[in-house]
Amino acid sequence: MNRSKLIRFRHGACVPLAELPRLDFSVFRESLLEEVAGDARVASFFGYPTTAGLDIYAILARDWKGELALLHTQVSGNYPSLTPDCPQLHLFERELAEQYGVRPEGHPWLKPVRFHRAWLPVADIWGRDPGQHPVPGDMEFYRVEGEEVHEVAVGPVHAGVIEPGHFRFQCHGEEVMHLEISLGYQHRGIEQQLIGTPSLVTLRQLETVAGDTTIGHTTASCQMLESLSGHDALPRAHAIRAIGLELERLANHVGDIGALAGDVGFLPTSSFCGRLRGDYLNLMAELCGSRFGRGLVRPGGVQFDLDAALIERILKRLDVLEPETRGAFDICFDSPSVLARFEGTGRISIDDAENLGLVGVAAKACGLVRDARLHHPFGIDDEFLDMPIIETDGDVFARGNVRRRETYASIKLIRDTLKRLPAGGIFRPLAPLAPDSLAVSLCEGWRGEVVHAAITDRQGHISRYKIVDPSFHNWSGLAMALRGQQISDFPLCNKSFNLSYCGFDL
Amino acid sequence: MIGGLVLHLTLLLLFAPLLQGVIVKTKARFAGRVGAPLLQPYYDLARLWRKGFVFSTTTTWVFLAGPVVGLVVPLLASLMIPFGALPAPVSFEGDLILFVYLFGLARFFTATAALDTGSSFEGMGAVREVTFSCLAEPTVLFALLVLARLSEGFSLNALLGPHLTEAWRSDAGAALGLILVCLFVVLLVENSRIPFDDPTTHLELTMIHEVMVLDHSGPAFGMILYGASLKLMVLGALLVRILLPLQTGWWLTDALVFLGGQLGVAVAIGVVESTMARLRLPRVPQVLIGTSLLSIFALVLVLR
């Protein structure tokens, strides 16, 4: 048994690097595969260059034990790829190859991820000119040959006002045989910009990792910084963060269901949800002055407190909004013509979902119980969320229905939290970060689990910052969901995932 | 004769875009919005007309022929169909075949113009449009045969004559009801309305008609929009006349009854669009085969 090689900890703990055993690669590989074959899944997987080689850290989430496991090894140059035995690592390994020029031997799909130059002065493993910035989307796409096969390319410029991404369909008539998604158009190098000491600038950058998950990312980041400094935030701050997180979930879920209805041309729900989304965003603005929750969460607490009048006002607004939201959802989910479009479209099996390591709404729709609020609670969440919301069909309907039920649950959570808001302060300054340590934090953003991890150097400055947005896991799920589907159903499937492009591109 | 022709074209050219405005307004009201002004389609046409043409270098004259034919065909077709009780200015035995296939001509040119761009989206749209409309064709022809059998004539003027009032009260009423349903479905398909197509979507992969005209801009796009409005009114005229075969004998009231009927059709389209989602694409042919069968059944009813 290699269990002793694992470092087990709950998120919120800060692990000194000295305590981390560096495993041989073969032991690392064996332990990781054994864990993944058990009940663990890969939450994050990243490299950290040292003079001796590239340190690799794998953070595994053992959801039902509520703990994280940490594996650490070192590679230099090439190493045998883990992807054939553990498909959920495929993007992480491609990412490492692009950032540090280490080749995972035997990787079945070794292509660039974000189209940027290597972070170290190493040879590009695809042989691209190191002097030139790589062109996004410039790679070999998978092709199906045949006289009746045709290829459809969509993007990166789309007909709607959405983010850029390139989609390549291999079609036989109207049926999609394969979809390949190429992103990276919005790569900003956020992880490297976060190196150093956290400041107002880095906070602003964190708020825009994925602009629609501002609270999710800032909460994950602040929880992690608080773990590194050894000062947990005050209970009232945790409660206010939880309210912000649920408001963000409400606005996005309501907007998504409206967009799903709009995609099938069902206008009433589309229009009502557009308006309701605005109402939920306005609630967020009442809380912190920004409709997208910017400026609410800060390391050490939150910036805005709730007084009795505001609590009363929010509760009153929710009393009006809840029946309106239920009404808007019900006319959509009760319409046979809508259900005929949603049901059976873009189905993913639970096995595929598990192998690809899906998280969040997409995973819950396949029947996987994956919710960081439930498994990895932080602060006061554990007092409230006790029921995971899952559907089992894995289709567009299931993803829509998870959103519908989560919306109702979020309203209840906000009400409960507002009524039992802990007393006390909302902010206390951060102590200096622990030197030579690693901390991880998980936060269930509306799209799914947001993972932030950081390593500090000897002075207590951040020397490696790693972000995993739920979109990073789930884009592969969208590609899988399209297999054998009608190409005309792609926009609907895409909307049912509603993934972030910039959250992936970082 | 000349007076009739002028009245016919005036009604068509002035009134057609208003129907689009009524549809949009109905949908807005259902969604609880104020919606765009009723006259917005006219403003849009004026705006497009002031713009310049943009042509891709890969296209040929065919690309421009699409919009032009798309505008001229409904105009020609309108001359053969009576607007309510106002008789058609041009009428001859068998004009109903020409009426149906004029729209086939327009479709041919729209699809060729789409293929001319070489874009994979437009090719997909052309395939879909051609498939669906060839399935809609039998429905229209059988419906017209039912009318021909009832009127014992072979021109649209005779088919849509005053005898329809009598026919509704007779045994043929059921058959008329059936073809009314069929023709309404064809109207929705031909004018790319929900549940068959979504005229407002921005999702190029789901479009049918809209994707074929993606590359058109300025006045050419204006011609397409105007042509689509005319087509809606011309095909709607068929429906209105069957539903409201009133004959007041005075041209002004006749025209008002006709226009009222057209507004009613526009509202009905708006209501359908507000209460239904789009059909999944593979379901569209099934619906069209269903309406073909319905219209054959109507024919059987009047032949027996």
Q: How confident is the model at residue A379 (pLDDT cuts 50, 70, 90)?
A: low
pLDDT at A317: 92
Q: What is the CATH number of domain A3-105?
A: 3.30.460.80
Q: Which residue of A has its CA nearest to B280?
A: A341
pLDDT per residue as tens digits for the range A382-398: 556 677 888 889 899 99
Q: What is d(CA A164, CA A186) in angstroms, rounded to the nearest whole number? A: 8
Q: What is the mean pLDDT of chain A?
A: 88
- The DSSP 8-state label assigned to residue B81 in this structure reads S
- Tokens representing B264 are 């009613």
pLDDT per residue as tens digits for the range A196-251: 888 888 888 999 899 899 999 999 999 889 888 888 888 888 889 989 999 999 99
- Tokens representing A132 are 């030139």
Q: Is the pLDDT of residue A381 over 70?
A: no
Q: Do B205 and A261 touch (CB under 8 A)?
A: no
Residue A204 sits at the chain B interface (C-beta within 8 Å):
no
| Residues A130 and A124: beta-carbon distance below 8 Å | yes
What residue type is B36 in one-letter code?
Answer: A
Give me the count of residues in chain A. 506
Q: Is the pLDDT of residue A428 over 80?
A: yes
Q: How confident is the model at residue A330 (pLDDT cuts 50, 70, 90)?
A: very high
ipTM over 0.95: no
Nearest by CB to B281, which of A160, A270, A488?
Answer: A488
- Tokens representing A327 are 């009404």
Strand order in the sheet with A14-16: A14-16, A437-444, A449-456, A462-468
DSSP A109-151: T---SS----SSS---TT---TTSPPPTT-SPPP----TTEEE
| Substitution target from A150, A263, A264 for chain B, most B beta carbons within 10 A | A264
H or E segment to which residue A289 belongs:
none
Q: Do B282 and A486 touch (CB under 8 A)?
A: yes
Q: Which domain holds residue B142?
A: 2-303
B27 neighbourhood in chain A, CB within 8 Å: 267
- The label of the residue with tokens 């879920």 reads A253
- Tokens representing A189 are 């190098």
- The label of the residue with tokens 């009245």 reads B7
pLDDT per residue as tens digits for the range A252-291: 999 999 999 988 888 889 889 999 999 999 999 999 889 9
- Tokens representing B154 are 């072979």
pLDDT at A1: 41
Q: Which of A244, A188, A239 is nearest to A213 (CA)?
A: A244
Q: In which residue ranges of chain A is CATH 1.10.645.10 found? A: 190-470
Residue A21 sits at the chain B interface (C-beta within 8 Å):
no
Q: Whole-model pTM?
A: 0.89
pLDDT per residue as tens digits for the range A302-319: 989 888 899 999 999 999
Q: Do A152 and B205 touch (CB under 8 A)?
A: yes
pLDDT per residue as tens digits for the range A335-353: 898 999 899 899 999 999 9
Q: In which residue ranges of chain A is CATH 3.30.460.80 found? A: 3-105
Across B62-66, average pLDDT: 91
Q: Do A271 and B32 touch (CB under 8 A)?
A: yes
Q: What is the CATH number of domain A190-470?
A: 1.10.645.10
pLDDT per residue as tens digits for the range A140-168: 889 998 888 888 888 788 877 888 999 99
Q: How confident is the model at residue A2 (pLDDT cuts 50, 70, 90)?
A: very low
Give me the count of residues in chain B. 304
Across B168-183, average pLDDT: 91
Nearest by CB to B281, which of A265, A272, A486?
Answer: A486
Across A480-506, average pLDDT: 90
- Tokens representing A495 are 């909307």
Structural domain count of chain B: 1
Percent of chain B clearing pLDDT 70 (strictly above): 100
Close Cβ partners of A227 (under 8 Å, ≥ 6 residues apart): A11, A12, A13, A14, A439, A441
Tell me the sheet residues that pair with A105.
A80
Our CA-based measurement puts residue A278 at a distance from the nearest CA of chain B, in whole angstroms, of 15
pLDDT at A383: 56
pLDDT per residue as tens digits for the range B241-271: 999 888 888 888 989 999 999 999 999 999 9
